[in-house]
Structure 1
Amino acid sequence: MSIVSNSSVLINLSRIGKLDLLHQLYGELIVPEAVWKEVVVEGEGQAGADAIKRASWITMLNVTNKELVQALQQDLDSGESEAIALALEIKAELLLMDEHMGRETARYFGLHYTGLIGILIEAKHKRIIRAVKPILTTLRDIAGFHVSNALYLRVLQDEGEMES
């Protein structure tokens, strides 16, 4: 299974010590060079940068379609642009991305994608985690992951976790 990730999923899970969820769910991840630079090189000393650098199951690949990346950068940052271009190039089965505009662009290109909340729900359904609420709450409170109150409550309701 080929999975391409943008930086936000990696950074947020690393900040709360849950990066391994991605390994348990997907085995290996592929990130484009721009994401690697953002997370590992520019993020040196930040929470999670070393964990991501040391993760043998995360591979960095260069994007070959530089023209597409350049075109995508009209609306997206370099990490999002390269993640979408790389997902298209390698025919990735899944793109991990949280940013709204990046997801809309991925949808336009017919890419299958999910974000952090979808990852947590999948992990619960596969019994890798027992509940979404404690991790989602920690992401909000510790990592600064932005999720609206309405979405937060809807996810907990959908997952039967309103009282836990």
Structure 2
Amino acid sequence: MEAISNSTPLIYLAKVSNLNLLKKLFNEIIVPEEVYEEVVVKGEERGEPEVSLISDLFEEGFIRKEKARRPKRGLRGLHEAEGKAIDLCEEEGIDHILVDDKEAFKLAKLLGLEPWRTSSIILKFFELGEIDYRKLRRALQDLSNAGYFMTAEVYELILGKARELKG
């Protein structure tokens, strides 16, 4: 299974040391050139520590960049990279998109895609047994500490789902 990704899921999964677990969910991650530019090129310029983890996955071929062929989506509130990621899903016939932005998430659903937020990806790692409940809680707390926006209700909802899965 393949997925298209926007910037924030890659950045935040790297920040909480869960980026490599994407290999348990997908065979390949494809990003638009704009995402590569934002995450790797500009991240290196800013000296972001998570860039090396992301770059390693590009070097090994798990993540690859692709040029979206469509012109930029002209939708208000949607950043260029998010629009290009959605375009790539449609161009490549890939249903899964990793995206956190609220407007991009809603548009992806509207277009019949299957959007995954960073927080739901971490829950999926728990569901697959790749992380335990303690590591799930720690990852969610680390996400929040790293600047990822998650309401207390969403945090509790994720932990509630994990408790249900744990049975």
- Alignment partner of 1:134 is 2:138: yes
Match of 1:100 in 2: 102
CA contact (8 A) 1:14 1:47 kept: no
Percent identical among aligned pairs is: 30
User: How many matched pairs?
Assistant: 157
CA contact (8 A) 1:3 1:30 kept: yes
Tell me the distance in 1 between the aligned counterparts of 2:16 and 2:162.
21
What displacement does 1:125 show? 1.2
Tell me the distance in 2 between the aligned counterparts of 1:2 and 1:26.
5
Alignment of 1:47-58 (within 5 A): 47-55=49-57, 56=60, 57-58=62-63
Match of 1:159 in 2: 162
Return the letter of the residue paired with 1:5: S
Instruction: Give the one of 128, 132, 153 matched to 1:150.
Output: 153
Match of 1:84 in 2: 86
Tell me the distance in 2 between the aligned counterparts of 1:38 and 1:157.
34
Match of 2:67 in 1: 62
CA contact (8 A) 2:73 2:84 kept: no
Q: Provide, for residues 57-89 of structure 1, a one-character-per-residue CA deviation record: whole Å limited to 9, x for no partner.
A: 1000000011xx2324x3311111111000111
What displacement does 1:11 show? 0.5
Return the letter of the residue paired with 1:138: D
5+ residue gaps, structure 2, are none
Q: Provide, for residues 80-125 of structure 1, a one-character-per-residue CA deviation record: whole Å limited to 9, x for no partner.
A: 1111000111011300011100011111211111111211121111
Task: Tell me the TM-score normalized by structure 2.
Answer: 0.88
CA contact (8 A) 1:32 1:83 kept: yes
5+ residue gaps, structure 1, are none
Runs of 4+ in 1 over 4 A off after TM superposition: none
What displacement does 1:17 show? 2.1
Please report the RMSD computed on the Cα atoms of aligned residues, expressed in angstroms.
1.5
Tell me the distance in 2 between the aligned counterparts of 1:10 and 1:63.
19
